[in-house]
Structure 1
Amino acid sequence: MSITNYWFQLIWILTAGIILTRFLSKKQEIVMGRIEERWQMAPAVLLVIPYIIAAALRSDNFGDTYAYRRVFSEAPNRLAELPFYLQGIKKDKGFSVFMVVLKSFIGNSSVCFFLIIAAIQMLCMAFIYRKYSENYWMSIFIFVAGTDYMSWCQNGIRQFLAIAIIMAGFPLLLKRKYVPLTVIILLGATFHASALLMVPIIFIVQGKAWNKKSVLCILGCILILIFVNRFTDGMNDALSNTQYSNMVTDWKEWEDNGTNPIRVFVYSIPMIFSVVGRRQIKEADNPVVNIMTNFSILTSGIAVVSMKTSGIFIGRLISYGSVYSASILLPWEMENIFTENSAKIIKSAAVLGYIGFFYYQMHFIWGLI
């Protein structure tokens, strides 16, 4: 059995999700010293359960699902065979260890394999969004309708597992506990080496919104765009002795023309709104919002660079920031930057816009609906 009706992703969030929002009571809790109104834990988890199940029952006709299913089937199911198995693994051995340990408990069921991975991914997101987002429903809606759910929970699961692990450590980022957070990042990097990018990022995003570090990131991205050929040559040299040694060559051979400009615009919306609402962000002086704003600047910069370089290799780095900027910052901006009436219009336009983008990506780009 596999789920291939992708419309359900919107139907669930727009029906059951809205019912949960309207009729289930919320609770007050303290977030960063402020009393905030948040979803109860049970309905917050209930909202994402169908997406966990759908990821487990997905078909092989999208992304790298077939490849992961094959790798899982070929992996040993006894821990005693793990050392020998790892001798043939050249990169990201943490994922291989995780897979073999998991298989020793669940057997050969790839459905259970995908179910457990999706549960880790979605529940890490749910716990962070429930606590730190101004509008939990909107956070999950943006993740689903923006097609990041399909991109990462039904494709690229190894990298997104690393992202979810790091995301679970977000409270440490707020408390500036860099040592334990770095340990978590290094753990995530054993699943996907690109997670090491988060080591400098956790320092870059700290501080007030739109600080000097953020401006330098923008200037750096502009310089990369101006000298894009030198950038790619330098990257090729820097990665020559790593597992990504053929990255630049591969994206040129595969005729990877970069991230779709429409997707780049979608990822840049939180940053654009942060410019419009810079005064409100400054007055709020909310540590969560400050960090998310800086994440949005970094995300937009990487997205623009990926548009001119590689959507497959550089574009995949966007997700390290977009899981924060799109689904936490954007709902806050909608609620706090605009007047009450304007906010209603903006939120309605956002819902319609994301539904339109969902159809565009799923139909015209991926051919799934």
Structure 2
Amino acid sequence: MAVYIFMLGWVVVWGIMSQITARQVCVGNEVYEKRVNLFIAIITFSVIIFFAGLRSGVADTYAYISMFKEYPLWSDAYEFITDPDAREPGFRIFSILIKTYISQDYHTWLFIVASISGVCIMYPLYKYSCNYGMSVFLFMVSCQFTWLLNGMRQFLVAAILFACTPLILNKKPIPYFVIVLFLSTFHTSALIMIPAYFIVSSEPWSKRTMVFVIGIILAMLFTSQFTSLLDTVVENSDYASSMEEFKDVDDGTNPVRILVESVPIIIAFIYRNKIKDKLTPIIKISINMSLIASGLYIISKIARSGIMLGRLPIYFSLYNSILLPWLISNVFEKNEKRLVYYTMIICYLGFFYFQMCVAWNGLEYVSDILNLWY
């Protein structure tokens, strides 16, 4: 835990510094918000990339390292890549190219993946968050940063799509879909973002979003049929083996996680009339993304499918780090904001402790480069 506490402390200190040095900029229609200095934004987030990139252990990292060691070099990779039983070849090709032309050391490979993922998370937070320091803090204490350590292939895809947010804002579906299809060769779950595009690009609480809510209710009512359909969909994906291995112990997403991830959308719904005239394009998208994330988390609990469905919300819940600081800034009066901020910080720190120390029994961290073993 010492490494993660250090990371959190770094983020808090530099996050505060980023807000102190932030300046007011116009974000459209005479709406002004604070935006941070790029250099300090990089410094704030760098600690996450640093430790994620230099790890040599943690959760499924061991499996990824073994996989990388088995990858052939490009000259011997044809049969390996064209194997009809090989699933999602994009990540394999990407990794083999790194191994062939950059380095055969898995440390370099892990650092490249962590750097790409980290930068793709940092950029939208830097560009769109009204409180960058708070956004990075939320990314840490909500434990979303652990995706860089466990499940890095899917998170690489989710992070890149998060960085493609401008394509949604500028209503450019074709290039967005092309990127989604390309990334689906890294992880097939990326395909969920094609139908999601049409939901999140609509107005919050519109008919499209209500259709999604109705879909959640129907999924709850017909859980067994819904789960069977999902089994069929992922039969040929990497999820299949995971589901088979863990289906007897998988009881769905932790209710505490569901509650934490649902806080932004609950606030947005309660105060929807108060904020409707203040909504910016990125916040509209973030509200819809948050709604989808909460819906998927709820379904994963009802369907007892935390291994599969419980991983899909990461494509959407990343937007909570943009949404929640904006809501606190625009919903509450000046005298209330400080109390809300303090309450939020205490509650999220409590969740951080619960998730890291209780639910995960203290998440290990191993780095032979840094000579760290926790």
Q: Distance in 2 between matches of 1:245 and 1:355?
A: 34
Return the letter of the residue paired with 1:97: I
1:158-184 CA-to-partner distances (Å, cap 9, x unmatched) read 001111121221101001100001111
Query: Cα–Cα, structure 1 residues 98 and 4, in superposed 2: closer, same or farther, change >3 Å?
Result: farther
1:12 aligns with 2:10: yes
Contact 2:19 2:131 in 1 (8 A): no
Alignment correspondent of 1:295: 289
1:202-213 mapped onto 2 (5 Å cutoff):
202-213=197-208
Distance 1:220 1:121, change over 3 A: same
CA distance in 2, matches of 1:363, 1:342: 31
Aligned residue runs from structure 1 range 5-154, under 5 A: 5-22=3-20, 24-26=21-23, 28=25, 30=27, 34-60=31-57, 62-76=58-72, 78-88=73-83, 90-150=86-146, 152-154=147-149
Q: Compute the displacement of 1:237 (Å).
A: 3.9
Label 1:44 to 1:359 Cα distance change in 2 as closer, same or farther (>3 A).
same
Q: CA deviation at 1:347?
A: 1.3
Hey, what's the Cα distance between the residues in 2 that align with 1:307 and 1:194? 18
Show structure 2 runs of 5+ residues with no match: 364-374
Following the alignment from structure 1 to structure 2, what is the Cα–Cα distance between the partners of residues 361 and 244? 23
**Contact 1:4/1:58 (<8 A) preserved:** no
**TM-fit CA distance, 1:221:** 0.8
> Hey, what does 1:272 align to over in structure 2?
266
Q: 1:4: Cα distance to partner?
A: 6.1
The letter for the 2-side match of 1:318 is P
> What residue is the counterpart of 1:337 in the other structure?
331
Q: Is the 8 A contact 1:277 1:333 kept in 2?
A: no
Query: Match of 1:328?
Result: 322
What residue identity is the alignment partner of 1:6?
Y
Structure 1 equivalent of residue 369 of structure 2: none
Per the TM alignment, residue 239 of structure 1 is displaced from its structure 2 partner at its CA by: 4.4
- Aligned mates of 1:230, 1:322 — CA distance in 2: 26
Of all paired residues, the percent bearing the same amino acid is 35
Taking the aligned partners of 1:14 and 1:117, their CA distance within structure 2 comes to: 25
In 1, the alpha carbon distance for the partners of 2:232 and 2:77 equals: 34
Residue ranges of structure 1 left out of the alignment (5+ in a row): none
Whether contact under 8 Å (1:209, 1:290) holds in the other structure is: yes
Distance (Å, rounded) in 1 between the aligned partners of 2:264 and 2:75: 49
* Distance in 2 between residues matched to 1:258 and 1:5, nearest whole Å: 28
The question of whether the paired residues in 2 share the 8 Å contact of 1:236 and 1:247 is answered with no
Three-state SS of the structure 1 residue aligned to 2:77 is helix
CA separation in 1, counterparts of 2:206 and 2:335? 31
Relative distance call for 1:301 and 1:106 in structure 2 (3 A) is same
| Letter matched to residue 291 of structure 1 | I
Q: Which structure is richer in relative contact order (CA contacts within 8 A, separation 6 or more)?
A: 2
Q: Establish whether residue 312 from structure 1 lines up as the match of residue 310 from structure 2.
A: no
Q: Distance in 1 between matches of 2:79 and 2:141?
A: 42
C-alpha contact 2:56 2:107 (8 A) present in aligned 1: no
Q: 1:233 to 1:246 in 2, by over 3 A?
A: farther
TM-superposed deviation, 1:233: 2.4
Contact 2:90 2:185 in 1 (8 A): yes
The answer to whether the Cα contact below 8 Å between 1:251 and 1:313 also exists between their aligned partners in 2 is no
CA displacement, residues 242-293 of structure 1 (integer Å, 9 cap, x when unaligned): 665567655533x200000000001101110111220133111322111111
Alpha-carbon shift at residue 118 of structure 1 (Å):
1.1
CA displacement, residues 99-142 of structure 1 (integer Å, 9 cap, x when unaligned):
11112233222222111111111111111111111111111111
2:348 & 2:210 partners in 1: Cα distance?
28
Per-residue Cα deviation, 1:333-354 (whole angstroms, up to 9, x for no partner): 0100111121111111111111
Instruction: Tell me how far apart the structure 2 counterparts of residues 184 and 31 of structure 1 sit (CA, whole Å).
Output: 28
Give the conservation status (yes or no) of the 8 Å contact 1:27–1:40: no
| Structure 1 pair 117–245 and aligned structure 2 pair: CA distance change class (3 A) | closer
Q: 2:252 aligns with which of 242, 258, 264?
A: 258
Output the CA distance in 2 between the equivalents of 1:67 and 1:248. 17
Q: Taking structure 1 as reference, are residues 285 and 65 closer, same or farther at Cα in structure 2, changes over 3 Å only?
A: same
**Rounded Cα–Cα distance in structure 1 between residues aligned with 2:29 and 2:136:** 22
Looking at structure 2, the residues matched to 243 and 110 of structure 1 have their Cα atoms a distance apart, in angstroms, of 21
TM-score by length of 2: 0.90
Cα distance between partner residues in 2 of 1:129 and 1:294: 17
Distance 1:31 1:311, change over 3 A: farther
| Residues 290-345 of structure 1: CA deviation (Å, up to 9, x unaligned) | 11111111111101011122111000001011011x11111110100111121111
